Amino acid sequence: MRANDEPAVLKVALDAQQTVGTATGIGEYVRGLLGALPEAGIEPIPLRVTSFDPWRFDRRVVWDQALLPLAALRSGAALLHCTSGSLPVASPLPVVATVHDLAWARAQEHAPFYARWYFGRFSARRWNGARAVIVDSAFTRDELLATSSLEPERIVVVHPGVDRAFGLVARNPDPAAVLLAVGTVERRKNVAVVIAALAELEGARLVCVGPRTPYQDECLALARRLGVSERVAFPGYVGRDELLALYARSSIAVVPSRYEGFGYGAAQALCAGIPLVAARTSSLVEVVGDDAPLLSPDDSAAWALACREILANREEAERRAAATRARALVRFSWEASAAATASVYRTALANRRAFAAG
């Protein structure tokens, strides 16, 4: 219910720093909200400094704890939406936070200890001070309920949307077999199981697009040991047009992640109408459902078999992927996601009870 003193168009400041430079899943999330929120009666005010690199840890902390609250104070907004899981210790505005996953506590053992602490335990304590916490999946909601003192009524599941451009992809697969993996090349993404499967898929190629981490070197070393290095490509981060072209031309999208709070690669593949194979893990079970094969993240033989069956029956696989596409476009529409997010904003402002920081 709208409070009596709430304007018809609500001004909300969004932390948009993750849209600067190499925008991964969080940047995609913020861009989608910025585009769709006006139709839901929200005037989004993006807060970002284009000269400030969000991928340097020290600058990220300065942004979160100093520049973001200052920008929020000057924004004229009624609410601050912290979109990337980290919150300022002190905010001049009521806060809604989005927690995409608990990867920093669950799956980032290789990261520096200070990053694990800041994005993990430190940030988790700040969530207690938010009016509401949006999560991308029921999986992340359950993780939060199991590991935090947040009340269930303050945690709201809102699936992110997928840019409508993916729904307009015109499938035209190359004659050669190409497997496509989309996302940061880091250990939890588990690209190694697909490289191992590639050894059993004669002639097939694997293209992994996304920012690199040292895990990429491990993958390349594995490819060399298995004799498939010439069939594995890591082109790095690619722009939107090139990514859409890859979804149009590739034979199969593969999402072998061990841990995902949502799984943009899987949702994008479903919306693009490309045959998909994904891991039976974390939120991917929820996002993919019955629309694609779900496999053990450790069974390379099963991945090879599933891909081989798709490649042997391409026309049927394309028909199945096209049939699931319409459902995916409804499930992952930005209009629905923005409307649900706007409802969280309004409820958070109506709820003026002060939550004590943890």
Do 47 and 66 contact (CB within 8 A), yes or no?
Answer: no
d(CA 101, CA 18): 16
For residue 356, the model assigns a pLDDT of 33
For residue 111, the model assigns a pLDDT of 76
d(CA 243, CA 114): 33
Backbone angles phi, psi at 6, to 5 degrees: -90, 130
Domain 10-161+334-350 has CATH 3.40.50.2000: yes
d(CA 213, CA 103): 16
Contacts of 220 (CB under 8 A, 6+ apart): 229, 232, 234
For residue 56, the model assigns a pLDDT of 87
Q: Pull the structure tokens for residue 65.
A: 């704890």
For the chain, give every residue range classified as CATH 3.40.50.2000.
Answer: 10-161+334-350, 164-331
For residue 7, the model assigns a pLDDT of 64
Kindly compute the dihedral angle of the four CA atoms of residues 25, 99, 353, 76, in this order, to the nearest 10 degrees: -20
Residue ranges in the chain assigned as alpha helix (H): 25-36, 57-62, 68-74, 103-106, 113-116, 123-127, 138-147, 164-167, 192-198, 215-226, 240-249, 264-272, 284-288, 300-312, 314-331, 334-350
d(CA 156, CA 134): 5
For residue 37, the model assigns a pLDDT of 98
Q: In 3D, which of 325, 314, 211, 326 has the Cα closest to residue 269?
A: 325
Task: Summarize pLDDT for 11-37 with one digit per residue, the tens.
Answer: 999 999 999 977 778 999 999 999 999
Residue stretches of the chain with pLDDT short of 50: 1-3, 353-358
pTM as predicted: 0.91
For residue 5, the model assigns a pLDDT of 57
For residue 358, the model assigns a pLDDT of 31
For residue 352, the model assigns a pLDDT of 66
For residue 353, the model assigns a pLDDT of 47
Identify the CATH class of 164-331: alpha beta
Is the backbone of residue 41 left (phi > 0), alpha (psi -120 to 50) or beta? left
Q: Pull the structure tokens for residue 295.
A: 């496999």
Q: What share of the chain is helix, strand, coil (3-state, %, to 5)?
A: 45, 15, 35
For residue 135, the model assigns a pLDDT of 98
For residue 354, the model assigns a pLDDT of 39
First to last CA, the chain: 29
